[in-house]
């Protein structure tokens, strides 16, 4: 038996693909440090995952759960191309791999996960890392990588056969994540978000992601080539503009930096390569405004943190003006700011923090969408959604933040409701808009961290006395929330929060709103709002405004 197996100190990083539960190793055919042959069993659902030749097989179960067509095609093509893959991309080492590793943090003693390792072009360069988990959808590529690791005597790398989009790893396990030229082959925005949330969950709070993807360079634009489509091999592709990929990844990671790499110059590229000048010229070209747009790849460096939003008050001097909002987390001390605010589902008592308890309604997204749909408490709700679809109401995920903000402010003014600063969430929210006859009639702003998604702001057109239009708007409101629920489910979120309810309010509008939200079938749950004021100036101002217990 070849002395290669899956490192046992990486076993805790693995989770059941059915429910993200820790796995138990059984029938261990290995030694005290690694497993060559064995079984991993989920103690919750009983699902078994096999370890064969030291490679953990998650894909066989993922395939039964459902894999999209593009992923299946890519797996077959990658298996065929695996023997020639290193040779085909070998000449790009200095232009691609060196700048990619330069963007990563110091890996000495760190734990790294690589999504889409392929035959190990980058994996074998992760020599400084203490532990490496390498994942790929191509079994043949993993076997080639396995032989490389055997030849070099490397024993700190664990190999996993899996679809990275539908893989769930243990939370807060890895220091760094790496993914080279995988992102552009994930065929939908929703699937890409699902992948990013999965990466975010498994990174430690200060962990980082380095990711490269196809760049839509000026040559492609000039030749009018497709930005999205399928290669002749059948593999899906999407070429990203620099601003486009930054916008997508910023929806999940708060700190994102994008650069352009792998710059090859037309005509003279071969000459530079023969003179070993390609690396130097590529680096210099990366700083020249027009020339850098010849880059083949975008390189993204993203840093993980808790879901937070920063606000500045114009009448205070920074840093006394800094106010932070943290979502879906227990309160904690956060110095260097004027005020911190937290929304949490945990009842905590931390000195100096003010606490306010409230109610909300939460839908469990661990169940299928069919069960969520049938679990709505009011058949009228389902009928109205179906009727709205027949009436031609179109609900889309929108990037037009300004359009929603105008609708929101009109709606809040009409009902004399306080207006939150929704502009704070422009980069880290998802907007769903309902259109009827080409006109925006309803919308919602939703916040998500990959585990929880919450309806933060809902608004609709309520300025007509027409019974027909009122009915259409009511249908649109329900459709907006249903689309957001489906989106949360499809991006891997575990719960959907309807955004707070007040069923015992003396205000009839609040009671009616609570009934509307609870009809979606969620369970009542307590939530807590915490805040702490650090700035003496802000404390005086708030007391002047009536907050006497500050």
Rounded to whole angstroms, the Cα distance separating 383 from 389 reads: 10
Chain Cα centroid distance, residue 514: 30
Assigned token pair, 544 = 């002047």
pLDDT at position 286 is 57
Rounded to whole angstroms, the Cα distance separating 460 from 474 reads: 9
pLDDT at position 316 is 41
For CA atoms 371, 374, 377, 383, the dihedral sign is: positive
pLDDT at position 441 is 96
Assigned token pair, 299 = 């390189």
Highest mean pLDDT pick, 101-105, 288-292, 310-314:
101-105
Q: Of 490, 497, 432, 496, which Cα lies nearest the Cα of 459?
A: 432
Classify strands 322-327 and 339-344 as parallel, antiparallel or unpaired.
parallel
- Where exactly does CATH 3.40.630.30 map onto the chain? 307-550
CB-CB contact of 171 with 201 (8 Å): yes
pTM for the model: 0.85
68-303 CATH: 3.40.50.150
Segment 76-94, tens digit of pLDDT: 999 999 999 888 766 666 6
pLDDT at position 388 is 97
**pLDDT exceeds cutoff 50 at 299:** yes
pLDDT, mean of residues 444-448: 96
| Least-confidence region, from 15-19, 311-315, 441-445, 484-488 | 311-315
**Number of other residues whose CB lies within 10 A of the CB of residue 390:** 8
**pLDDT exceeds cutoff 70 at 396:** yes
In 66-124, which residue ranges form alpha helices assigned H by DSSP? Answer: 69-89, 98-102
Segment 54-74, tens digit of pLDDT: 999 999 999 988 888 999 999
| Least-confidence region, from 262-276, 362-376, 449-463 | 262-276
Which pLDDT band holds residue 289 (cuts at 50, 70, 90)? low
Rounded to whole angstroms, the Cα distance separating 140 from 83 reads: 8
| Least-confidence region, from 110-124, 262-276, 516-530 | 262-276
pLDDT at position 270 is 52
Instruction: For residue 74, say if its preceding peptide bond is cis, omega within 30 degrees of 0.
Output: no
Classify strands 111-115 and 131-136 as parallel, antiparallel or unpaired.
parallel
Residues 307-550, CATH architecture:
3-Layer(aba) Sandwich (3.40)
pLDDT at position 501 is 96
CB-CB contact of 237 with 248 (8 Å): no
pLDDT, mean of residues 95-100: 86
Assigned token pair, 505 = 């309010």
**pLDDT exceeds cutoff 70 at 326:** yes
Query: Which residues does 203 contact at the CB level (< 8 Å), separation at least 6?
Result: 172, 174, 175, 176, 177, 209, 304
Q: Round the average pLDDT of the chain to a whole number and report it.
A: 89
Which pLDDT band holds residue 314 (cuts at 50, 70, 90)? very low
- Where exactly does CATH 3.40.50.150 map onto the chain? 68-303
**pLDDT exceeds cutoff 80 at 534:** yes
**Number of other residues whose CB lies within 10 A of the CB of residue 46:** 9
**pLDDT exceeds cutoff 60 at 265:** yes
| Sequential DSSP letters for 437-481 | TTEEEEEEEEEE-SSEEEEEEEEE------HHHHHHHHHHHHHHH
Please give the DSSP secondary-structure letter assigned to residue 58. Answer: -
Rounded to whole angstroms, the Cα distance separating 62 from 105 reads: 32
Rounded to whole angstroms, the Cα distance separating 72 from 344 reads: 40
Rounded to whole angstroms, the Cα distance separating 351 from 212 reads: 44
Highest mean pLDDT pick, 202-206, 211-215, 271-275:
211-215
pLDDT at position 331 is 92
pLDDT exceeding 70 applies to what percent of the chain? Answer: 90
Rounded to whole angstroms, the Cα distance separating 266 from 472 reads: 57
Burial, 479: exposed, middle or buried (Cβ in 10 Å; 0-12, 13-18, 19+)?
Answer: buried
CB-CB contact of 96 with 261 (8 Å): yes
For 74-85, letters b (16+ CB in 10 Å) and e give bbeebbebbeeb
CB-CB contact of 85 with 142 (8 Å): no
CB-CB contact of 301 with 103 (8 Å): yes
Rounded to whole angstroms, the Cα distance separating 68 from 71 reads: 6
């Amino acid at each position: 038996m070849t002395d290669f197996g899956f490192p046992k100190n990486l076993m805790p990083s693995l989770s059941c693909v059915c429910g993200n539960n820790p796995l138990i190793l059984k029938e261990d055919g290995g030694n005290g440090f690694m497993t060559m042959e064995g079984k991993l069993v989920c103690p919750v659902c009983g699902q078994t995952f096999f370890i064969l030749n030291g490679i953990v097989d998650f894909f066989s179960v993922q395939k039964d759960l459902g894999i999209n067509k593009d992923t299946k095609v890519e797996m077959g093509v990658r298996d065929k191309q695996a023997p020639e893959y290193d040779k085909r991309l070998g000449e790009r080492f200095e232009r691609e791999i060196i700048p990619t590793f330069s963007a990563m943090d110091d890996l000495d003693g760190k734990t790294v996960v690589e999504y889409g390792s392929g035959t190990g072009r980058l994996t074998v360069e992760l020599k400084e890392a203490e532990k490496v988990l390498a994942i790929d959808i191509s079994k043949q590529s993993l076997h080639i990588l396995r032989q490389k690791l055997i030849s070099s005597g490397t024993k700190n790398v664990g190999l996993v056969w899996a679809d990275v989009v539908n893989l769930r790893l243990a939370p807060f396990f890895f220091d760094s994540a790496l993914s080279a030229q995988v992102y552009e082959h994930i065929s939908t925005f929703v699937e890409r978000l699902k992948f990013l949330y999965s990466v975010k969950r498994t990174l430690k709070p200060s962990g980082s992601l380095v990711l490269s993807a196809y760049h839509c360079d000026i040559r492609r634009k000039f030749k009018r080539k497709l930005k999205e489509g399928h290669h002749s091999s059948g593999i899906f592709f999407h070429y990203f503009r620099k601003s486009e990929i930054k916008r997508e990844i910023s929806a999940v990671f708060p700190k994102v930096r994008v650069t352009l790499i792998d710059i090859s110059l037309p005509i003279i590229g071969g000459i530079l390569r023969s003179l070993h000048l390609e690396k130097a010229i590529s680096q210099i070209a990366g700083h020249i405004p027009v020339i850098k747009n010849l880059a083949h790849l975008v390189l993204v460096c993203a840093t993980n943190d808790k879901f937070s939003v920063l606000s500045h008050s114009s009448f205070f001097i920074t840093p006394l003006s800094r106010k932070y909002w943290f979502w879906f987390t227990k309160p904690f001390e956060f110095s260097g700011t004027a005020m911190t605010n937290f929304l949490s589902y945990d009842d905590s008592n931390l000195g100096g923090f003010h606490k306010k308890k409230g109610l909300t309604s939460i839908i469990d997204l661990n169940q299928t969408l069919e069960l969520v749909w049938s679990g709505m408490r009011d058949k009228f709700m389902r009928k109205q959604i179906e009727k709205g679809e027949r009436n031609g109401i179109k609900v889309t995920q929108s990037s037009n933040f300004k359009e929603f903000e105008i609708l929101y402010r009109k709606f809040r003014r009409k009902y004399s409701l306080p207006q939150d600063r929704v502009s704070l969430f422009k980069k880290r929210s998802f907007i769903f808009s309902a259109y009827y006859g080409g006109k925006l009639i309803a919308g919602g702003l939703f916040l998500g961290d990959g585990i929880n998604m919450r309806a933060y702001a809902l608004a609709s057109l309520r300025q007509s006395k027409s019974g027909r239009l009122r009915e259409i708007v009511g249908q649109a409101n329900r459709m907006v929330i249903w689309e957001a629920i489906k989106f949360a489910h499809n991006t891997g979120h575990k719960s959907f929060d309807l955004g707070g309810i007040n069923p015992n309010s003396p205000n009839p509008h609040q009671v009616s709103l609570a009934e509307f939200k609870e009809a979606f079938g969620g369970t009542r749950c307590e939530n807590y709002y915490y805040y702490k004021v650090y700035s003496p100036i802000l404390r005086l101002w708030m007391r002047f405004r009536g907050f006497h217990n500050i």
